[in-house]
Amino acid sequence: MSSIGAVSSVDDMIALTASSSMLTEPRLTVDLDAVGHNTRTLASKTTLMAVVKADGFGHGAAEVARTALANGAIALGVATLDEAIALRAVTDAPILAWVTHRASDFDAALLAGIELAVPSVDHLDAITRAARTTRLAARVHLHLDTGMARDGAPREQWLTLAAAARRAERLGQIDVVGMMSHLGLGEKPGHPATAAAVTRFVEAEAVLRSVGLRPAIRHLAATAAALNEPAARFDLCRIGAGLYGIGAGLREAMTLTAPVVSVRDVPRGTPVGYGHSYVTDRATRLALIPLGYADGIPRIASGNASVLVRGRRTPLAGTVSMDQLVIDVGTLGVEAGDIVTVFGPGDDGEPTIADWARWSRTIPHEIMTGIGSRVVRSVA
């Protein structure tokens, strides 16, 4: 066969493929020591539920869960039941899920021992049905809206919900272990909306007591309020962003690197990329990075962003494409194979996720959770 000659070099080909894929592979490295440090720092201020929804904000839910629980978190919080049930394989710790609907598989949730937020009588009915089917009492957190009109029960429905929960508790179908709400302006220290929410929360607890419910775990604050609003801490804070390094004194855990795949030397006046939004103002070198908006690099950051290469910040040149971006590296002597740091904890002058969020007019949460599935992750 004509390919016989090539067979002897299959190993070479595999080696070549492996090394060239290493050379062309963007990589997201997650530093679990940073997550551990952040957890300990926050756990010294508050009792901490580690929020690991959306795959641990893109860091790896199982790994973050284990790390947080080993460093002082006492429970896990997620959005969906699927996320919660997957985590049951990792730990026996309490796991709370708060985004469900009446058709959710509450039987599976109860069998896995998942705690459930209850924002409506509809939810409660579905959960008590599951309790009858499984003969297991559901551990629930009654969920109130204190002023963001999102997922908690409206205040005018609270007493009805409380009374129904009390009946279900008497029947042994549920244990009301908690009450919760969420803040819409936790990011703004001292905002009156937060004080109003705290007041509503306390009033709502009195309503529960009036029907004979005594939830042991009252929780209102997420990261920002846990750091800035002691009055909002109650018995537990649901900490997401903080675990991942968002907040004063905390350390970002993600580093995104990518190789330069090619360079080209161009004269002054060279337009770069879609729309020619960037035109070189001098003779310079352009370097191509195999990361684009499909990988979570926000296109809107194009005019503002920079990355670190050879120890220097270099600006993006032109618009981020779906799979590629170009940087203007001037006279730094950048060559194909050089590694570019897109973001990291900032130790070496690289941009942080907080910088990318600012450049993109969004919050760090969106940058973290937006890293695409093509990017190889290593968690250590």
Ligand X SMILES: *Cc1c(COP(=O)(O)O)cnc(C)c1O
Residues that bind ligand X (CB under 6 A): 51, 53, 98, 182, 222-224, 238-242, 365
Q: How far is the CB of 259 from ligand X (least distance, A)?
A: 31
| 150 is known to lie in a ligand binding site | yes
- Asked if 368 and 254 touch (Cβ cutoff 8 Å), the reply is yes
User: What's the closest the beta carbon of residue 147 comes to ligand X, in angstroms?
Assistant: 14
Q: How far is the CB of 86 from ligand X (least distance, A)?
A: 17
Q: Nearer Cβ to ligand X, position 50 or 124?
A: 50
CB of 198 to ligand X, least distance (A): 15
If the CB atoms of residues 110 and 232 are measured against ligand X, the closer one turns out to be 232
Name the active-site residue from 45, 53, 278, 293.
53
Three-class secondary structure of residue 178 per DSSP? strand
Nearest to 291 by CA among 243, 339, 352, 331: 339
Shortest Å, Cβ 342 to ligand X: 22
Strand order in the sheet with 262-266: 262-266, 284-289, 325-328
Residue number, 73 or 286, with CB nearest to ligand X: 73
Q: Is the dihedral of CA 371, 373, 378, 380 positive or negative?
A: positive
Could you confirm whether 244 is annotated as catalytic? no
Strands (E), the chain: 27-30, 48-51, 75-78, 95-97, 115-118, 138-143, 174-180, 217-219, 237-239, 254-259, 262-266, 271-272, 278-279, 284-289, 306-309, 312-315, 325-328, 339-343, 376-379
322 is in an annotated binding site: yes
Q: Which of 244, 274, 278, 293 is catalytic?
A: 274
Please state the φ and ψ torsions of residue 102, each to the nearest 5 degrees: -70, -15
CB nearer to ligand X: give 247 or 259: 247
Closest CA to 128 of 157, 160, 97, 106: 106
What does the alpha-carbon distance between residue 43 and residue 27 come to, in Å, rounded to a whole number? 30
Q: Residue ranges for the binding site?
A: 150, 322
Q: Residue ranges for the binding site for substrate?
A: 150, 322
Q: Among all residues, which ones are annotated catalytic? A: 53, 274
